[in-house]
Amino acid sequence: MAERKKILLRLDPAVHDALARWAGDELRSTNAQIEFLLRRALTDSGRMPRNAGAIPRRGRPAKKSDDEDGGAGGTGGEDGGGAAPGT
């Protein structure tokens, strides 16, 4: 993935505070909220570049389901056989 660009953004303090509260309500950082809103505005106006990457996912990785991690969920087959765990 390409390196992310950094910019300096000057905001009215009241606008920043409102944006920070909104970001908190959405469980995002203020920076992530700004990027989310900019992307939505670009998409709504038909100006989102086709080659724009996805927003990077932050935070804790999603839990794997039994199907994804190859776990032995289920009954062990129709015959009900199979060794007990640890044997």
Selected residue with higher pLDDT from 4 and 82? 4
Give the phi and the psi of residue 57 in degrees, each rounded to 5: -80, 135
- Please state the domain extents for the chain: 13-44
Cα end-to-end span (Å), the chain: 46
- Tens of pLDDT, residue by residue over 30-74, are 999 999 999 999 999 999 999 988 887 777 777 887 665 555 554
Exposed (0-12), middle (13-18) or buried (19+): which is 5, by Cβ within 10 Å? exposed
Q: What is the pLDDT of residue 21?
A: 98
Q: Tell me the average pLDDT across 1-27.
A: 93
R_g (Cα) of the chain, nearest Å: 23
